[in-house]
């Protein structure tokens, strides 16, 4: 009903606007007064977690992209190798899993059959399974060794938005917890990242408050046949999630690519007026990734692409090559997905609405896929 949508046109629109709360609530109560991480709810023997020599994240759809973001953060903070695998592929390829493997199952519903089968398979092989799940009392946490709940609240729209941000947030907490336990980060460093995380909800709100420009662009683009998305490092899963949202609800062909792959194929797709979103890493980051992605924008613009750039506030280097820029507030490089994905969600939601589609109930899709 209209009341349930809280004045928004759709549940998806409402859930996009709930995201500051989804992140804040997922952080809430998980630090002590001194700002130290407290995750007693992870009821796995600390000795087992200290011995873990590999993490495999299993999930489907949007939850798998949250897992890809988790990989960058956990490897960087904990120095543990992290694989991310679609649950249905993991289950059927004879994966190397043993008692020193931590399998992290990410799922909004906690009922996705493919993810559940992966959980069962992992436990049969002796792995410890930790679930990151939004729905209390669902099957996946019941069958796992431990659960870290996301506190996004009920998600109604089929296409996941606020659960995605909450999954990424929970994965960061897990990474920081393992770093604390294994001593791969100093307590001060962990406290600093937690401070940055606590600033994220207000920064998401700032992105929402500035969404007028992306909405206008989305409406004007409602008849485009295809949109490409490029990102690098943690921007890569953001690009793939942006493309998935557009496919799911607007029925537009969309593909996400790693920006570094451009010259290995995707650049052949660039012709006049092809819209391309580019998720630009922070200019303050290391490894000159920023300059590399800016040069990608230049390359595709020179071939006629219409460039839609998501960049950090104050990044003037992108201006000469951008048809449109959507700025998001500054944050630590690894946390940037929590901000950069928001304009892409709004773009898909607004474009699908402009086409007159039911954004909450896209054709052929189910909120929770409980068959294999
Ligand atoms: C379905 C939904 C997606 C969701 C995926 C995984 O495909 O349409 O939005 O990302 O399932 O669902 P889960 O509940 O396991 O996160």
pLDDT exceeds cutoff 80 at 35: no
Pocket test for ligand 1, best of 12, 59, 61, 68 (most atoms within 8 A of CB): 61
Average pLDDT for the chain: 96
Atom of ligand 1 nearest to the CA of 159: 9
- 17 in Cβ contact with 157 (< 8 Å): no
C-alpha span between 74 and 171 (Å, rounded): 8
- Show which residues are catalytic: 367
Q: Over the stretch 126-150, which tens digit does the pLDDT of each residue have?
A: 999 999 999 999 999 999 999 999 9
Q: Which of 146, 201, 164 is nearest to 23 (CA)?
A: 201
Pocket test for ligand 1, best of 242, 368, 370 (most atoms within 8 A of CB): 368
Q: How confident is the model at residue 2 (pLDDT cuts 50, 70, 90)?
A: confident
ipTM higher than the 0.85 cut = yes
The predicted pLDDT at position 36 comes to 81
Which has more pLDDT, 71 or 287? 71
Which has more pLDDT, 35 or 365? 365
Q: Which two tokens stand for residue 306?
A: 């219409």
Which residue has its alpha carbon closest to ligand 1 atom 15?
107
Cα-Cα-Cα-Cα torsion 187, 191, 194, 199, nearest 10 degrees, comes to: -170
- 168 in Cβ contact with 134 (< 8 Å): no
* H or E element at residue 368: none
**Taking the model in full, what pTM does it have?**
0.97
What are the phi and psi torsion angles at 38 (to 5°)?
A: -125, 110
DSSP 3-state of 304 = coil
CA 264 to centroid of ligand 1, rounded, Å: 30
Pocket test for ligand 1, best of 12, 57, 60, 158 (most atoms within 8 A of CB): 60
The predicted pLDDT at position 4 comes to 86
Beta bridge partner(s), residue 216: none
Q: How confident is the model at residue 228 (pLDDT cuts 50, 70, 90)?
A: very high
Sign of CA dihedral 257, 260, 261, 265: positive
CA 110 to centroid of ligand 1, rounded, Å: 9
pLDDT exceeds cutoff 90 at 176: yes
Atom of ligand 1 nearest to the CA of 140: 15
Collect all residues with Cβ–Cβ distance below 8 Å to 235 and sequence separation of at least 6: 259, 279, 280, 281, 293, 336, 337, 340
C-alpha span between 123 and 127 (Å, rounded): 5
C-alpha span between 315 and 325 (Å, rounded): 10
> How many CA atoms within 13 Å lie on the side-chain side of 289?
21
Q: Which residue has the tokens 């898909």?
A: 348
Collect all residues with Cβ–Cβ distance below 8 Å to 268 and sequence separation of at least 6: none
Spell out which residues line ligand 1, taking CB within 6 angstroms.
60-63, 107-109, 112, 115, 158-160, 365, 367-369
The predicted pLDDT at position 97 comes to 96
């Amino acid at each position: 009903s209209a009341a349930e949508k809280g004045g928004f046109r759709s549940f998806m629109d409402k859930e996009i606007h709930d995201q500051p709360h989804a992140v804040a609530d997922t952080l809430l109560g998980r630090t002590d007064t001194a700002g130290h991480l407290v995750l007693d709810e992870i009821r796995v023997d600390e000795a087992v977690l200290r011995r873990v020599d590999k993490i495999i994240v299993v999930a489907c759809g949007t939850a798998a992209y949250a897992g890809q973001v988790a990989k960058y953060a956990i490897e960087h903070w904990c120095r543990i190798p992290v694989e991310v695998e679609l649950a249905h592929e993991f289950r059927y390829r004879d994966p190397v899993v043993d008692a020193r493997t931590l399998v992290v199952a990410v799922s909004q519903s906690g009922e996705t059959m493919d993810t559940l089968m992966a959980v069962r398979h992992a436990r049969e092989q002796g792995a410890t399974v930790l679930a990151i799940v939004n729905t209390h009392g669902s099957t996946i946490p019941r069958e796992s060794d431990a659960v870290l709940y996301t506190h996004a609240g009920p998600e109604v729209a089929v296409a996941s938005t606020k659960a995605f941000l909450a999954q990424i947030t929970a994965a960061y907490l897990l990474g920081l917890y393992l770093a604390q336990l294994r001593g791969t980060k100093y307590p001060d460093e962990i406290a600093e990242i937690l401070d940055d995380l606590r600033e994220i909800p207000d920064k998401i709100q700032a992105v929402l408050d500035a969404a007028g420009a992306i909405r206008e662009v989305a409406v004007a683009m409602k008849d485009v046949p295809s949109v490409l998305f490029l990102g690098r490092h943690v921007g890569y899963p953001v690009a793939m999630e942006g493309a998935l949202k557009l496919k799911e609800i607007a029925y537009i062909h969309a593909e996400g690519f790693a920006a570094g792959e451009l010259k290995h194929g995707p650049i052949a797709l660039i012709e006049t007026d092809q819209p391309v979103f580019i998720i630009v890493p922070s200019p303050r980051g290391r490894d000159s990734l920023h300059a590399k992605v800016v040069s990608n924008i230049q390359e595709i613009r020179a071939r006629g692409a219409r460039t839609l750039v998501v960049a950090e506030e104050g990044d003037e280097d992108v201006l000469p090559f951008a048809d449109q820029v959507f700025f998001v507030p500054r944050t630590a490089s690894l946390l940037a997905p929590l901000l950069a994905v928001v304009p892409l969600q709004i773009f898909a939601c607004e474009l699908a609405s402009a086409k007159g589609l039911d954004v909450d109930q896209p054709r052929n899709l189910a909120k929770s896929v409980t068959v294999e």
